[in-house]
Structure 1
Amino acid sequence: MFVKCQRPRRWHFVQVLFICLILSGIMLCWDKLDSFSFDFASINPFHFGPSFRNSSFTVSRAEGCKFSDHPYLITHTKTCESSNVLLLLFVKSFPQNFARRQNIRLTWGNERYIESELGVSVKVLFALGVHPHLKDRTLIQSQLFQEDQKYHDLIQQNFIDSFYNLTTKLLLQFNWAHTYCSHAHFLMSADDDMLIHMPNLVTYLKQVHQAGIRDFWVGRVFNNTGPVHRKSSKYYVSPDLYPWDRYPTYTGGAGYVVSRDVASRIHQASLTLNATLHIDDVFMGICGSVIGVAPKAHHFFSGEKKSPYHPCIYKQMMTSHGHESDLQEVWRQVTSPEVQKVDSGITGKLYCSIIKLALLCNPFNRNTYPCNPSTIFF
């Protein structure tokens, strides 16, 4: 039995050609905007939330300094001796995460690779407290001293390293940067399970720097969120500590970048705020509110999940979250020379648009990169 196939009519070909021309036109127009692919949405009152100046959240400078007044157990005061540091990148790491730190050193955090292949100076440091369990602390601390003697990239203060001291770790990063590396053009904070596409990030930050952009703060932006008052949640915040019903706009703590001018002002603002709020990314948002700077959303800074595995995604990736054990393998994929060829020409751009539409608009891939025209057609 044979099935009779209907011959395509001429107007079908015209339809396909018309759609291709429209998509091509959109991509060619948007391609000119690709260098600065962050969302400059107009500022609205919800970006800054409540006024924290002269409120119950404000403390004296003497009291504010106590939140970060922890002695250093390991530090390196001459790391940033180079006068032209593009990026100071702090990786938040728990003391026991030796394997994660080593994977980073072998991949995107390799400073020699960055300088030789990308032609810029990026300083990668790991921010640490002390192990929370006293019985394990002595051994792990000894191992940390040995690790640092070999790599010279640990910055550790004497506070308990736990989820509830993440704001203390944020203060460590901004205080150290202010004291020892204030000339770095950008400061980045990231988790130790992140994959950072260093070639893409360096290219992007060089363009931002050359354009002279100030008040620069990009990452995965969260709007219109509020405190959790359920005491069983680790995100619980007491109404006495935070009496307002909404947080200011902030970026997820897994990975964000600020310019040198913002880093300096964040540091100053943090010295007069109540840092007992343990949710570090929200505290960062409060600091931003105080200095009048709101973050901008960069669509290829990841949410809580890993980015989809595909060369069309790698071409624009900045960060991907959740890489605890596969970092080296994915790093080889994202830096393969073949990635740069995947969307060459009109055919390649159409191919990648279809792939990204399928991957990013899939409900199972939510909380990676958003499904919108900026991510699909760039």
Structure 2
Amino acid sequence: MSLKKGLLLCLLVSGTSLLLYFTYIPLTKKWLERTEEATKEHFQEVSGIYYVAYPRKYEFIIDQPDICEQQKPYLVAIVPVPPGDVDARNGIRNTWGKQKVFGDKVVLVLFLIGLHSGNDEEILQEKLRNESQQYKDLLQSNFQDSYRNLTIKTMVMLEWLSKNCQQASYAVKVDADVLLNMNNLINMLVSLNSVQHNYMTGLVWDNSIVIRDPSNRFFLPYDVFSRDTFPPYPLGMCYVISMDLPQKILQGAREVKPIYIEDAYLGMCLEHLGIVPTKPPNIELFVVRLLKYNRCYYSKLIAILTENTNQMTSYWTDIYSSSQPC
């Protein structure tokens, strides 16, 4: 190789190296900055996922604002359900949500939903509007409907009750997979003789242990909730509140940072307010464990957690297939 060619090759290699160097450094710096930012966001998400952002600025896009004034219910049943689960809503409409009057007590059943996300969002929203026109029992707020947002869903429910249903005596929140014997619930409330205040009942859990196992879906780290047990609270599957409580809980919630476990969070708000949940006359009226079905026994309960809508429907149909289940 001649000296001239060698010098030319050396200059070419050096120039290429410098070009790669000055190109690589900014790219590497950008990549590191982007990675650092993503990592920071990741850890912020991990540390914040057990809290709930509740800005109190949600609005109802499907609403029934005058329905309590029109129907004057004694009891309002609110069923939180995913937007796309029309089978669950129809299952309740055809079973325990069908009867509207018990003696002289009017019952109102409403379904609370949030926003659906996905490619079929617009199609589902149109179906929801049609469903609302047909049944007039949907409440839809503009929060994202998800498991982690159940606390938001609960607080939005309280907002609606406080604003629109002060004339009712009680509200019951009931999950869609719960078999509710409405007549038994009405009888329990009427037996109290007078309308209660600061009243919340259901399957009340005392000294519920805070889960510290990260693999458990109810896990909470110490920096979110440092105590070993939660304050008393009724299990979220079904609980009853007097109608003075929604506004009080909403006020108390301004001082209690929301966590994603919605029923435990209500217990935290009640403790902040100095209110203790009331146990029902018989704690076994609310059943969370799945029991072997027995028509006579099930007919005497108030709320039973089932596996799904089909099971709930079959139990209800069998119980009410006869005027004398026992």
Name the TM-score, length of structure 2 as normaliser. 0.77
* Partner SS for 1:140: helix
> Corresponding residue for 1:69?
57
Question: Could you tell me how far 1:179 is from its partner in structure 2?
Answer: 0.4
> Corresponding residue for 1:199?
183
Q: Which amino acid aligns with 2:73?
A: V
Which consecutive unaligned segments of at least 5 residues does structure 1 have? 1-63, 343-378
Deviates more, 1:249-258 or 1:289-298: 289-298
Alpha-carbon separation, structure 2, partners of 1:185 and 1:199? 16
Question: Could you tell me how far 1:315 is from its partner in structure 2?
Answer: 4.0
8 Å Cα contact 2:169-2:195 kept in structure 1: no
Residue from 299, 304, 317 that aligns with 1:332: 317
8 Å Cα contact 1:118-1:202 kept in structure 2: no
8 Å Cα contact 1:83-1:183 kept in structure 2: no
Matches within 5 A, 1:142-291: 142-208=126-192, 210-275=193-258, 277-291=259-273
1:255-298 Cα offsets, whole Å, 9 max, x none, are: 010112333322321233212x1100001101111112222333
8 Å Cα contact 2:181-2:299 kept in structure 1: no
Residue from 114, 135, 138 that aligns with 1:129: 114
8 Å Cα contact 2:54-2:152 kept in structure 1: no
8 Å Cα contact 1:300-1:316 kept in structure 2: no
Question: Could you tell me how far 1:216 is from its partner in structure 2?
Answer: 2.1
Q: How many correspondences in the alignment?
A: 271
Q: Which amino acid aligns with 2:323?
A: P
Deviates more, 1:163-172 or 1:117-126: 117-126
Closer, same or farther in 2 for the Cα pair 1:300/1:318, shift >3 Å? farther
Higher relative contact order (CA 8 A, sep 6+): 1
Question: Could you tell me how far 1:101 is from its partner in structure 2?
Answer: 0.3
8 Å Cα contact 1:307-1:321 kept in structure 2: no
* Partner SS for 1:251: strand
1:198-253 Cα offsets, whole Å, 9 max, x none, are: 11111222222x33443322111212123323333321223222222221011110
Residue from 261, 281, 297 that aligns with 1:313: 297
8 Å Cα contact 2:199-2:242 kept in structure 1: yes
Alpha-carbon separation, structure 1, partners of 2:260 and 2:195? 34
* Partner SS for 2:279: strand
> Corresponding residue for 1:38?
none
Alpha-carbon separation, structure 1, partners of 2:290 and 2:121? 32
* Partner SS for 1:284: helix
8 Å Cα contact 1:187-1:263 kept in structure 2: no
Closer, same or farther in 2 for the Cα pair 1:228/1:136, shift >3 Å? farther
Residue from 69, 75, 78 that aligns with 2:66: 78
> Corresponding residue for 1:26?
none
Alpha-carbon separation, structure 2, partners of 1:251 and 1:301? 13
Question: Could you tell me how far 1:321 is from its partner in structure 2?
Answer: 0.9
Alpha-carbon separation, structure 1, partners of 2:121 and 2:100? 34
> Corresponding residue for 1:12?
none
Question: Could you tell me how far 1:307 is from its partner in structure 2?
Answer: 4.6
Closer, same or farther in 2 for the Cα pair 1:157/1:127, shift >3 Å? same
Alpha-carbon separation, structure 2, partners of 1:92 and 1:212? 25
1:162-221 Cα offsets, whole Å, 9 max, x none, are: 11100000001100000011121001111111110011111222222x334433221112
8 Å Cα contact 1:300-1:319 kept in structure 2: no
> Corresponding residue for 1:95?
83
Closer, same or farther in 2 for the Cα pair 1:148/1:306, shift >3 Å? farther
Alpha-carbon separation, structure 1, partners of 2:191 and 2:285? 17
Which consecutive unaligned segments of at least 5 residues does structure 2 have? 1-51
Q: Which amino acid aligns with 2:95?
A: T
Q: Which amino acid aligns with 2:232?
A: T
> Corresponding residue for 1:47?
none
1:117-165 Cα offsets, whole Å, 9 max, x none, are: 543211111111112x422322222221111111111111111111110
Alpha-carbon separation, structure 2, partners of 1:83 and 1:96? 27
Name the TM-score, length of structure 1 as normaliser. 0.67
